[in-house]
């Protein structure tokens, strides 16, 4: 808990101190009921004050009476007890309000820090981790699990502290009244604790299953919102609703099973709690009947027994909440304990754009087959290179290796004669810009999307990048121009417009190496030609890699690399490859015939 409350430990300590005073005054306030009843009984009895004082009021009662002015004075001025009750009530209320204010301050602060830590880690985790984890799990951890942990830290934990303080104070008071009453008040506590232990373990397991199932439901919602275009395009709404209904039904079953165990726990422990109170009431009534205790003692014995037993039941419930918090912590640790991606260590050489692959191999952790197998080629600075191949041949994987999203298994990749693994990740990603096949645009203005990675560019730079991506005239035609707000993930733009805006954003960085990962496929052939022509005429000419399926896109490249089943199948210029039997010639003939 100390790590989780870092920065708030002084406030935590202040709240704990206020809880001590609150528990003391709220518990002592009940003792006034005994004084009132005993004072009334004394006024109706010929018993002398000294005997009454010594035998019936007890040590705590005598202390309070002395504080209030002595037993005889209090007996003759009973209104002082009423005033003391009001004063104690006001003090108790003051501590209660203060505790609530401090707890709210701590809760919001801890929530902010936990969510910020989670977000920071998610942003800094390796790409491979994010790729292999369900989005629903990550969302569930950041929202539901964070809320569960926060509630325990700022509510249940403080309640647990107050429970034990109230229990101790109440039990001590019962001991001062009569040891037989005190022992009776805790007689059923051992079986209550043992019984609760086994039920809590079962409930914790069911809660974890319920939590995981809810993550699946959240993931399904998030997935469908992101892919709503595809769902509607394929008239797949009915199937998606059916699958969601099945996930929801699974969550419902697990939730009901979990809550049934919780409900059974509370209802069954109520029997033990009320049994304890009844047993104490009977014992106290007997002792009062034989004259061992006063009527006031009988009344508050029942009150303090409830103050002992109910807090224990609540403490058991809080321990149950603790088990839920531990489940939340376990889920958070999957994120927080995973090593962060090191983006700051390594060399920061000047990058001109030379790329050498020397027997590079790579396979994913969950795949036995090599995605890239002994790939070798050389690209000179400023060259435009087209990479072609069948689906699954390793084209996009090759691009991911160049930005160190993944690390190659064997071989060597040299960037200007420097081993890629030795280059700082942040530096390489700044100098190797990539336009993805499915670009992501933020729900912000066009200008904000353009300058998201570089805030220091001028408007002339923005205009030049938009013109290179053949998107300048389109932006100028928008009513709000650069201030046009695009929808989430760029949904208010067409596929080609999103692609060209993403290209312009990448071009604006003037990176020495630029990768178009099949990103020209969303634009028509004429736009494709204009973009490639503009790229060649740029004053900041970059080494350009174009992953494509179009021969028309690849034919003007300085070099064409054809991948087949993870290996370099062909390499050469367009004129060279159309004369050789192979994949490129076959695709050229097919696409030429279609055109």
pLDDT at 2: 44
- CA torsion angle for 95, 96, 99, 101 (degrees, to 10)? -110
% the chain with pLDDT above 90:
6
User: Can you state the angle between helices 237-289 and 189-226, rounded to 10 degrees?
Assistant: 160
Residue 361, helix vs strand vs coil? strand
pLDDT at 230 over 70: no
pLDDT of residue 65: 57
Share of the chain above pLDDT 70, in %: 82
Least confident of 182-191, 272-281, 304-313, 560-569: 304-313
d(CA 125, CA 69): 69
Fold classified for 355-594:
Rossmann fold (3.40.50)
CB 312 within 8 A of CB 167: yes
Say yes or no to pLDDT of 590 above 70: yes
581 close to 406: Cβ distance less than 8 angstroms: no
CATH 3.40.50.300 range(s) for the chain read 355-594
Evaluate if residue 55 carries a pLDDT over 50: no
Cα torsion angle, 555, 558, 562, 566, sign? negative
Q: What is the pLDDT of residue 51?
A: 45
- CATH 1.20.1560.10 boundaries in the chain: 9-336
Instruction: Please determine, for residue 560, whether its predicted confidence score (pLDDT) is greater than 60.
Output: yes
Query: What mean pLDDT do residues 171-199 have?
Result: 76
Mean pLDDT of all residues belonging to the chain: 78
pLDDT over 80 (residue 280)? no
User: Of all helices (H) and strands (E), which one includes residue 414?
Assistant: strand 410-415
- How sure is the predictor about 357, in pLDDT bands with cuts at 50, 70 and 90? very high
Is 190's pLDDT higher than 80?
A: no
- In whole angstroms, what is the distance from residue 520 CA to residue 499 CA? 7
pLDDT single digits (tens) 71-129: 566 666 667 667 777 887 788 888 888 888 888 888 788 888 888 888 888 888 888 78
List Cβ neighbours of 278 (8 Å cut-off, separation of 6 or more). Answer: none
Q: Partners of 45 in the beta sheet?
A: none
Matching residue, tokens 């027994």: 305
Of residues 525 and 435, more confidently modeled: 435
Q: What is the model's pLDDT at position 48?
A: 46
pLDDT over threshold 90, residue 355: yes
Check residue 46 and give its pLDDT.
47
Query: Which pLDDT band holds residue 1 (cuts at 50, 70, 90)?
Result: very low
Judged by average pLDDT, the poorest of 190-199, 381-390, 461-470, 557-566 is 190-199
Mean pLDDT of 260-288: 77
Q: What is the pLDDT of residues 396-450, one digit of tens each?
A: 888 888 988 888 888 999 999 999 999 999 899 888 888 777 767 777 788 888 8
Of the candidate ranges 14-18, 226-230, 371-375, 395-399, the one whose mean pLDDT is the lowest: 226-230
Q: What is the pLDDT of residue 53?
A: 47
Q: Which of 500, 480, 498 is nearest to 489 (CA)?
A: 498
Q: Using CA of residue 123, residue 129, residue 131, residue 135, what is the dihedral sign? A: negative
CB contact at 8 A, 83 and 69? no
Buried b (16+ CB within 10 A) or exposed e, 459-479: eebbebbbebbbbbebbeeee
Give the per-residue pLDDT at 358. Answer: 92
Tokens of 411: 């071989």
Statement: the pTM of the whole predicted model exceeds 0.75: no
**Residue range 586-591: average pLDDT?**
82
**CB contact at 8 A, 192 and 269:** yes
Terminal Cα-to-Cα distance of the chain (whole angstroms): 68
Across residues 513-517, what is the average pLDDT?
86
For the cut 60, the answer to whether the pLDDT of residue 52 exceeds it is: no
Which range of 216-225, 262-271, 334-343 scores highest in mean pLDDT? It is 334-343
Torsion angle, alpha carbons of 63, 69, 74, 79, to 10: -110
Which CATH number fits the domain 9-336, given the four candidates 2.120.10.90, 3.50.50.60, 3.40.50.1260, 1.20.1560.10? Answer: 1.20.1560.10
Cβ-proximal residues to 395 (8 Å cutoff; 6+ apart), any chain: 387, 388, 389, 517, 518, 547, 563
Inform me whether the pLDDT recorded for 527 exceeds 80: no
Q: Is the pLDDT of residue 589 over 80?
A: yes
Counts of helices then strands in the chain (DSSP H, E): 24, 10
């Amino acid at each position: 808990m100390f790590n989780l409350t870092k920065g708030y430990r002084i406030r935590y300590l202040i709240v704990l101190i206020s809880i001590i005073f609150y528990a003391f005054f709220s518990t002592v306030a009940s003792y006034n009921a005994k004084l009132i009843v005993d004072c009334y009984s004394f006024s109706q009895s010929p018993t002398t004050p000294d005997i009454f004082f010594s035998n019936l009021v007890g040590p705590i009662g005598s202390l309070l009476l002395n504080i209030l002015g002595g037993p005889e004075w209090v007996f003759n001025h009973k209104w002082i007890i009423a005033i003391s009750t009001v004063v104690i009530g006001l003090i108790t209320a003051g501590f209660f309000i203060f505790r609530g204010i401090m707890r709210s301050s701590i809760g919001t602060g801890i929530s902010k820090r936990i969510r910020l830590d989670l977000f920071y880690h998610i942003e800094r985790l390796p790409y491979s981790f994010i790729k292999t984890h369900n989005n629903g799990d990550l969302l569930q951890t950041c929202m539901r699990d964070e809320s569960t942990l926060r509630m325990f830290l700022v509510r249940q934990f403080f309640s647990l502290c107050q429970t034990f303080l109230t229990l101790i104070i109440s039990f001590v008071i019962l001991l001062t009244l009569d040891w037989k009453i005190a022992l009776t008040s805790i007689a059923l506590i051992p079986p209550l604790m043992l019984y609760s232990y086994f039920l809590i373990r079962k409930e914790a397991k069911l809660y974890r299953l319920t939590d995981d199932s809810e993550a699946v439901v959240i993931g399904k919602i998030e997935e469908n919102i992101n892919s709503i275009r595809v769902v509607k395009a394929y008239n797949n709404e009915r199937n998606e609703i059916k699958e969601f209904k099945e996930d929801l039904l699974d969550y419902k079953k697990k939730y009901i099973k979990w809550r049934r165990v919780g409900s059974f726990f509370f209802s069954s422990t109520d029997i033990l709690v009320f049994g304890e109170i009844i047993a104490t009431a009977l014992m106290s009534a007997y002792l009062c009947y034989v004259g061992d205790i006063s009527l006031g003692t009988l009344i508050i014995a029942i009150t303090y027994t409830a103050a002992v037993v109910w807090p224990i039941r609540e403490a058991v419930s809080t321990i149950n909440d603790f088990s839920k918090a531990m489940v939340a912590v376990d889920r958070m640790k999957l994120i927080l304990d995973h090593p962060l991606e090191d983006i700051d260590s390594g060399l920061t050489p000047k990058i001109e754009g030379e790329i050498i692959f020397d027997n590079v191999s790579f396979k994913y952790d969950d795949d036995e087959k090599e995605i890239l197998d002994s790939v070798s080629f050389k690209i000179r600075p400023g060259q435009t290179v087209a990479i072609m191949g069948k689906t699954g041949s390793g084209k996009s994987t090759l691009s991911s290796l160049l930005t160190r999203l993944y690390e190659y298994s064997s071989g060597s990749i040299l960037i200007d004669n420097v081993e890629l693994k030795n280059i700082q990740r942040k530096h390489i990603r700044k100098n190797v810009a990539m336009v993805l096949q499915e670009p992501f645009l933020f729900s912000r203005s066009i200008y904000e999307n353009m300058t998201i990675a570089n805030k220091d560019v001028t408007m002339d730079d923005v205009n030049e990048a938009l013109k290179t991506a053949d998107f300048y005239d389109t932006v100028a035609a928008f009513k709000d121009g650069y201030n046009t707000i695009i929808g989430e993930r760029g949904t208010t733009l067409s596929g080609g417009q999103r692609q060209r805006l993403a290209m312009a954003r990448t071009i604006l960085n003037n990176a020495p190496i630029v990768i178009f990962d099949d990103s020209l496929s969303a634009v028509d052939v004429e736009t494709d030609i204009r973009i490639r022509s503009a790229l060649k005429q740029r004053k900041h000419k970059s080494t350009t890699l174009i992953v494509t399926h179009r021969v028309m896109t690849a034919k003007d490249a300085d070099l064409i690399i054809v991948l087949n089943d993870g290996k370099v199948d062909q390499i050469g210029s367009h004129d060279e490859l159309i004369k050789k039997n192979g994949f490129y010639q076959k695709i050229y003939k097919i696409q030429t015939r279609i055109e």
